[in-house]
Amino acid sequence: MNYNWDWRVFFKPTGIGNEIYLDWFVTGLGWTIALALSAWVIALLLGSLLGVMRTLPGRYAARIAGAYVELFRNVPLLVQLFVWYFIVPDWLPEPLEDWFKQDLHPAISAFISVTICLGLFTAARVCEQVRTGIQALPRGQAMAAYALGLSLPQVYRQVLLPQAFRIIIPPLTSEFLNVFKNSSVASLIGLMELLAQTKQTAEFTANLFEAFTLATLIYFTLNMGLMLFMRWVEKRVRVPGLIALGGK
């Protein structure tokens, strides 16, 4: 390949303010992390709630959660994002619509749309994992808990969920990483997160290969770090003498 790699490009001034190109990547990484973490909070809370609903004895709760999962899992993420960003604001009551479209900084309104979109999309996936975790437990566990007089919320809170979450840490880890990777869709509605900054650097400098190499390294390091963190969590909550739960 006849290409002159020039890694010094990241330290060249962008011509905007005093910024060098590396600053753009730092800003972009900041947006990516903020997006992914806020979406993950929504996904984890809502997903857990839906996952529990899917295992409840009554039919209605399970059906509602089931319908939610099918809806959010079967529509492409990008389509969902466009719905949240372009269509949903039009449905808001007028003062709210004006506020969202005009008063808010465009970056903030894009951020809100992506966070909601990614959070709700990932919640459907978390829901299924929580459900599987609960259903993987022996039926006798819930029975024993009920037999001691625990109420339904107590049975979930004290007995089923602590075990289910330990079982699903590995698949939850991949979902956690997916949120970071999926957050790159935000670049399509103009939010300057990591991928958007990379594209912009490539366009400004014509050093496309360097820009995307750096982006790849940043995504990889970030996700590797998260994975190691989750492994550490998994080890910390491991129960002595228990082989069936929480891996090794």
Partner 1 sequence: MIAIENVSKWYGDFQVLTDCTTAVQKGEVVVVCGPSGSGKSTLIKCVNGLEPFQSGKILIDGTSVGDAKTDLPKLRSRVGMVFQHFELFPHLSIINNLTLAQVQVLGRSVEGARQKGLALLERVGLSAHATKFPGQLSGGQQQRVAIARALAMDPIAMLFDEPTSALDPEMINEVLDVMVELAHEGMTMMVVTHEMGFARKVADRVIFMDRGAIVEDAKKDDFFGSPRSERAQAFLSKILSH
- Which CB atom, from 28 or from 51, has the smaller least distance to partner 1? 51
For residue 20, what are the β-bridge partners? 13
Q: How many residues does the chain have?
A: 248
CB of 245 to partner 1, least distance (A): 6
- Which CB atom, from 58 or from 140, has the smaller least distance to partner 1? 140
- Which CB atom, from 75 or from 143, has the smaller least distance to partner 1? 143
For residue 160, what is the DSSP state?
Answer: I
CB of 45 to partner 1, least distance (A): 21
CB of 47 to partner 1, least distance (A): 21
- Which CB atom, from 151 or from 216, has the smaller least distance to partner 1? 151
Measuring CA to CA, how many Å separate 76 from each of 26, 86, 88? 29, 16, 16
Pair 191, 110: CB distance under 8 Å: yes
- Which CB atom, from 48 or from 187, has the smaller least distance to partner 1? 48
DSSP codes, 80-148: HHHIIIIIHHHHS-HHHHHIIIIIS-HHHHHHHHHHHHHHHHHHHHHHHHHHHHHHTS-HHHHHHHHHT
In sequence order, the 6+-apart residues with CB closer than 8 A to the CB of 178 are: 122, 125
The site for partner 1 (CB under 8 A) is made up of 138, 140-141, 143-151, 154, 158-159, 162-163, 166, 239-245
Q: Tell me the C-alpha distance between 243 and 245, whole Å.
A: 6
CB of 56 to partner 1, least distance (A): 16
- Which CB atom, from 41 or from 244, has the smaller least distance to partner 1? 244
Number of H helices, E strands in the chain: 12, 0
